[in-house]
Amino acid sequence: MTQTSRSHMKVAGLGLLASALIASNAFASGFSIFEQGAKASGVAGAFVASANDASANWYNPANLVWMDGTQFQFGGNLITAGGDTELTVLDPSFGVFQPTTFEPESSIETPIHLYYTKKVSSNIAWGVGITTPFGLVTEWEQRPITFSANRSELTTFVLNPNVAFRLTETFSVAVGLDYMFADVGSFSREVPIDLDGNPLNGFEVIGFSDLTGDTTELGWNVAMSYQGNSTSFGFTYRSGFELELDGAIEYTDFGPLAPFFPASDGTAAIELPAQAAIGWGVQLTNRFSIEVDVAWSEWSAFEAIVVDLDTETAFSRDFVVEENWDDTFSYRLGVFWKTSPSTEWRFGAVFDESPVPEGFLRPSIPDADRKGLTIGYGHTGNRFTIDLYYMPLWFDDITAIGGEEGVVVGTYDTFVQLAGASLNMRF
């Protein structure tokens, strides 16, 4: 076979797991999801110091000891993905010789959260949460974008038990475990192969690859909280995860080349980042309070994806995908406005950095620095609170630089909307 055909086969191999583990741009930096409670999301996630409902199990479990009784919360988000994203491509290596605009398929995703908390005594409380801290659904249907990524679907769930201890009248700490389940429901792409070595004749074979896989992993978290008369501080840290996905790859529509693309089991090693956040809250009046948070993600841990296939051929081999992401910070401001004993309005703003260098920006994650505004509403009854929020996110235009396999040279223009609700019950 020609060198050109071998090059396309190599690109196909890169798609096994590299983009399957990269999440949608609808969320926080990289592929993390910060929206784990509607009250917190109403103030753009500036909730580390102020967390005072059951979602404190995620935002700051040290605050669990400051809440009375038992609480249960269930909620979710509606996130628009793809409908307001455009990729304008000018990349001769993908056969695009003049600026052409492509759009991904639109979808609405619904990550959920579930919490239970209980105060055991004046000095001890515990809680448990189920959250979706990482996630992805992206789908492209137009060639040649499908040669880099067709459909990518990743779901994660974390079971997170925590125990909080009050050490003084104003200071508390917490420790917890994070048990993650990660599932790649699908990662598919088209695989173009040039048999005669003449790109002017087009591709003689366009096959199809699809990957599925899953894994579990254990992490940990710690938190601290100070609650004064009018000032509060909070700090949380969550460890990273070293995942090894057990998966299977299947190839179809390769015709006479099928022996070169056998189905195979395999593994992929990937590191997810440690994350930390600090928050400062101030009660300005009986009706107004504010909070400012800074969050950090150790995305530099995401250096590469190492793929090991059980069945190898001359063109389907083990490989390493370089990512070389950067650490990121996000900055969040929240305002709480209590208009009556049972009603609270919330407002927020966020600036979130992207960890993805332009030279590693692939269509499965059209990420960029982003800015968002939020509005939230909460109504409290005798034993329940209903919280709602809405958040538009504006992404900076960003141009991918070619060189790495799977990177399509082009400029991304993205806008995303999020909304959500939570029901918090007290017993």
DSSP 182-197: EEEEEEEEEEEE-SSS
> Which pLDDT score is estimated for 32?
76
Taking only the tens place, the pLDDT of each residue in 122-151 is 999 999 999 998 877 788 888 888 888 888
> Which pLDDT score is estimated for 200?
65
Per-residue pLDDT at 343 exceeds 90: yes
- Of 189, 251, 245, 247, residue with least CA distance to 217: 245
Pick the CATH number of 3-426 from 2.60.120.380, 3.30.450.40, 3.40.50.150, 2.40.160.60: 2.40.160.60
pLDDT band at 28 (very low <50, low <70, confident <90, very high): low
Per-residue pLDDT at 376 exceeds 80: yes
> Which pLDDT score is estimated for 22?
39
- Partners of residue 415 on adjacent β-strands: 394
**Domain edges within the chain:** 3-426
| Mean pLDDT on 363-383 | 92
Nearest-10 Cα torsion for 19, 25, 30, 33: -110
pLDDT band at 3 (very low <50, low <70, confident <90, very high): very low
CA 19 and chain centroid, separation:
13
pLDDT band at 19 (very low <50, low <70, confident <90, very high): very low
